[in-house]
Amino acid sequence: MRKYLLFSIFCSSILIEVGCNKSIRINIPVAQIPIENTPIILPETTLEDKVSEENENTHYSPYDGWMIHKKSVGPILVGMDIHKADSILSQFQKEKASSEDFGFSGGSPAYIYSIDSVPIIAVIQSLNSKKIFAIVVLSESLKTETGISPTIIVDSLMTIYPQMKFYKDEFTGWECSEDTQNQWIFVFITNKSDQIGVYKYPEQLVAPKNKIAKNNWIVVR
């Protein structure tokens, strides 16, 4: 009788049947197929780095969010002790000035507070005390709730105060207008060529003729 070899492969072994109902199982080692472990490379920028970068790109000012209100500019109040104001304004550069620089007579001290050499506000100190008598708003970044800020032109101011009148200050010769309810004074340093009103005498209230004159600063009393 001829012998036939029958091969059947099961997983890692071969079953060999050799006639006469006999079989032999031979285990054959199966070579493992190497699996390449490809490392996952994460970006070097983490969330923390991204937040830090965004913060660096965001310009922050110590007076962000400050508004001009009646008797106050941000946290600085008329009547506040000058030393308390200094503490609040510790991130500002402080420069001594004179009250006459802002149209006040009497020789009271004044101080200008700046950021990166740009004046933001000035305070006028009371002559006989360490209290703030007035605040002078110098930066156009500071606004009232109606959007008024230094550098506003007369025409824009008139949209908020349609009946507003102007007068020439006898002491300085500057032209001014006032919001008497909020105790704000809008100061315009003009000359004959760009004068806002025509006055017969100092302190006379007149309607504006030149409506493109630009405001210089706002005094908060």
Closest to 173 (Cα-Cα) out of 197, 156, 157: 197
Res 107: pLDDT = 87
Res 56: pLDDT = 47
pLDDT at 32 over 70: no
Return mean pLDDT, the chain.
Answer: 84
pLDDT band at 7 (very low <50, low <70, confident <90, very high): very low
**CATH for the stretch 64-221:** 2.60.460.10
CA 91 to chain centre: 15
What are the C-alpha distances in Å from 103 to residues 41, 84, 131, 152, 200?
66, 24, 18, 19, 21
Res 4: pLDDT = 40
Q: Averaged over 181-209, what is the pLDDT?
A: 96
Res 202: pLDDT = 85
Res 39: pLDDT = 55
CB 4 within 8 A of CB 18: no
pLDDT band at 41 (very low <50, low <70, confident <90, very high): low
User: Tokens standing for 39?
Assistant: 């490392």
Give per-residue pLDDT as tens, 46-80.
Answer: 444 544 454 444 556 899 999 999 999 999 999 99
Closest to 25 (Cα-Cα) out of 41, 6, 40: 6
Residue 63: how many other CB atoms lie within 10 Å:
19
pLDDT band at 176 (very low <50, low <70, confident <90, very high): very high
Give the strand order in the sheet containing 13-18: 5-10, 13-18, 23-27
Domain spans in the chain, listed from the N-terminal domain onward = 64-221
- How many angstroms separate the most distant Cα atoms in the chain? 144
Res 200: pLDDT = 95
Residue type, 34: P
pLDDT at 199 over 60: yes
What are the C-alpha distances in Å from 177 to residues 5, 133, 168?
117, 19, 9
pLDDT band at 27 (very low <50, low <70, confident <90, very high): low
The model's pTM: 0.74
Res 121: pLDDT = 98
Res 61: pLDDT = 87
Res 189: pLDDT = 98
Residue 93: how many other CB atoms lie within 10 Å:
14
pLDDT at 105 over 50: yes
